[in-house]
Chain A
Amino acid sequence: MAGLWHIERSTAVSRAALFAAAPALAALLALPAWGDSGDMRLAVEISYYLALAQAWNLLAGYTGLVSVGQQAYVGLGGYAFFALSVLAGVPPLASLALAGLAVAALALPTAFIVFRLRGAYFAIGTWVVAEVFRLLLALATPLGGGTGMSLPVTVVRSLAESSRARGLITYYLGLGLGLGTVLLVFFWLRSRQGLALTAIRDSETAAASVGVDNRRTKLAVYLIAAGIAGLIGALAFLEKLRISPDAAFSVGDWTANIIFIVVIGGIGSIEGPILGTIVFFALRALLVDYGAWYLITLGALAVAVMLLAPQGLWGVLSRPLGLQFFPVQRRLRLLDSAPHAAPGVPAAGRGD
């Protein structure tokens, strides 16, 4: 059959999206020139949520590891950064990178325990683990115990002298982390491992039967997701200049919002979490004055989406139109030049 078909990866829409994304990216990179520090902080916050959403989507959407405990790794990242930069005197930027690595390393023994639980029990188990880390750090007096600690001025100064320069550093690091995570997920899903991930998403049993090492793939996703959360925690609490166990290990900030973003946007695709992040921040801006009603609305929206359109808003938009911005699929196309296919040759399937 060689020569009769080829594997199509990008589509006209995805190529157009690439061109459309270029000016948006340029505008973001130039934001410090045209926006104020409030805009920059908002952009960085959006980047964090985007990165966390992409990581959680890999976990829950592809490998079925529905974690309600990602705040464990955000919190540990923040505390690792404070411990390294304040207690050990490591330069801030090196502390950031090391914090990410340390968190990924800590996730390994944690995985050993929580991977004993399946499905919904895994979800609650990860939550217990996050609580254990929060309570342990509340006992860590060198790091301020239950009340937490502030980043000493000397450490802040060692990042950069002026507050403008510090703002620029955290802006570009935050933006890089957000966009970098999207690219990482994109290239991962296009790779051989991505094919394994997609197979696990669609059927674990089938994936295992064609030789995918499910456990190993899941562990890899779990550790990478932990590392990303750790980097975000380190950067977020560097920006806040203050850390406490309740803020660092907040299930609402670091996991509930992320779950809503992914569920509303669309689980199991790259575009879904991006759309979800946009919807999340738009809703937040709209409902900023309504206090608890904002979270009630968000929760109700997520419940409605899960029941009525489990593929999320992106699924609703993309399915009928065949849209995709990130070409991660492999679609089999019969070549026009091929001699007329004999009846009985199966039509090219919509494999994605």
Chain B
Amino acid sequence: MAWANIVLQGALLGGLYALFAAGLSLMFGVMRLVNIAHGDLIVLSAYCALMVVQATGLHPLLSLAVVVPLMFGLGYALQRGLLNFTLGGDILPPLLVTFGLSVIIQNALLEGFSADSRRLQAGALETASLTLGDQIAIGWLPAIVFLAAIAVIALLELLLYRTPLGRAFRATSDDADTAQLYGVEIRHVFALATAVALAVVSVAGVLLAIRTNFDPSIGPARLLYAFEAVIIGGLGSLWGTLAGGVVLGVAQSVGAAIDPGWEILAGHIAFLLVLVVRPRGLFPKLAD
């Protein structure tokens, strides 16, 4: 029963990783852009939520009403004003520009908020749990995070497969030049893709900030988890990404139960094993 609990907690943690990963996956899917600053944008939205909560006294979950539109707008501006200029045949410009952006965001946060560890206080929600049997308890917060991941991915799937914008995303993903010939304004579509991705990032950032401590330096590790969830799940499949997040969360949780030093390491090793055994991930959809 103890192990069942460990696996269950890991699976719930995987929901958070799937939320980290969904935005990364969307940006790569639509424009083949791998955003190295992804993790730092998660942390940035956590700090945005912190500022909103401090200024208004709102409950952290309600701060989403401000942070999500804010990050959506930032995403649009970032893509339109900067990242669109890096796209083309060469992989170096997007990679190095987002790498530079990552260092800029980290150090700007450091300058603005110091290196102190922060956390969003969510009151009773932090400790409330549902007890199942004598050894298993599900915290409300991890359960909410996991359900949020399912909801976000279901909404993204709806957006991608049931709306005109989703059709434009998929057409651009298949062949940007041809999509343009059919009247898709790709610079605008790219900007909307990043805007949606950062809206998802902001949900991930706020939930991260309620679940754990954060400081300006933790972005790159979140990028690695997001990336690992995407690769484990298989490129191009959002439900696969959720599965990838769960695999990663369970691996970390089991690793931590064996020895605290093995927590993060076990997740990385699970990722490398998948890479060796099934290089295209567990549920691949995209060829590239």
Q: Which A residues are within 8 Å of any B CB, using their own CB?
A: 60, 64, 66, 68, 113, 116-121, 123-125, 127-129, 131-132, 135-136, 138-139, 146, 251-252, 256, 259-260, 263, 267, 291-293, 295-296, 298-300, 302-303, 306-307, 310
Contacts and interface: CB of A to CB of B under 8 A. Distances in A.
A293 B111 CA distance: 8
A100 to B, nearest CB: 25
Per CB-CB distance, the 4 closest pairs between chain A and chain B, nearest first, are A120-B34, A292-B107, A299-B103, A303-B100
A299 B82 CA distance: 14
A252 B104 CA distance: 12
A119 B275 CA distance: 15
A259 B259 CA distance: 35
Interface in B84-121: 85-86, 90-97, 99-104, 106-108, 110-111
A263 B96 contact: yes
B86 to A, nearest CB: 7
B111 A291 contact: yes
Interface in B217-258: 220-221, 223-224, 227-228, 231
B104 A123 contact: no
Given A303-B104, A306-B86, 12 more contacts: A66-B92, A66-B95, A116-B275, A120-B91, A125-B275, A131-B224, A293-B111, A295-B104, A299-B100, A302-B99, A302-B100, A306-B97
Contacts of A119: 34, 91, 95
8 contacts: A118-B288, A128-B228, A135-B264, A291-B111, A295-B106, A302-B99, A302-B100, A310-B92
B51 to A, nearest CB: 18
Nearest to A116: B279
Contacts of A292: 107-108, 110-111
B34 A300 contact: no
A120 B224 CA distance: 13
Nearest to A122: B91
Contacts of B264: 131, 135
A123 B95 CA distance: 8
A151 B269 CA distance: 31
B132 interface: no
A129 B272 CA distance: 8
B271 interface: yes
Contacts, number: 123
Contacts of B276: 113, 116
A307 B85 contact: yes
A interface: dominant SS: helix
B59 interface: no
A125 B259 CA distance: 24
B223 A124 contact: yes
B interface bracket (residues with beta carbon within 8 Å of A):
35 or more
A310 B104 CA distance: 19
B268 A132 contact: yes
B36 interface: yes
A299 B101 contact: yes
Nearest to B34: A120
A306 B261 contact: no
B220 A306 contact: no
B128 interface: no
Contacts of A129: 272
Contacts of B34: 119-121, 123-124
Nearest to A66: B95
Nearest to A135: B265
B268 A131 contact: yes
Contacts of B279: 116
A127 B93 CA distance: 18
A303 B101 contact: yes
Given A66-B95, A120-B94, A251-B220, A132 B272 contact: yes
A256 B268 contact: no
A113 B224 CA distance: 16
Given A120-B91, A306-B96, A307-B97, A127 B107 contact: no
A117 B280 CA distance: 10
Contact of A123 (B36, B85, B221, B259): B36
A260 B111 CA distance: 20
A139 B104 CA distance: 32
B2 to A, nearest CB: 23
Contacts of B272: 113, 128-129, 132
Given A117-B275, A125-B275, A256 B103 contact: yes
Contact of A124 (B36, B85, B108): B36
Contacts of A303: 82, 96-97, 100-101, 104
A299 to B, nearest CB: 4
Contacts of B269: 132
A299 B107 contact: yes
B228 to A, nearest CB: 7
Contacts of B86: 306-307
Contacts of A116: 275-276, 279
Given A117-B275, A120-B94, A135 B268 contact: yes
A113 B100 contact: no
B278 to A, nearest CB: 10
Contact of B111 (A118, A125, A139, A296): A296
Nearest to A118: B288
A135 B221 CA distance: 13
A60 B108 contact: no
Contacts of A117: 231, 275
Contacts of A66: 91-92, 95-96
A86 to B, nearest CB: 22
B140 to A, nearest CB: 31
B93 A300 contact: no
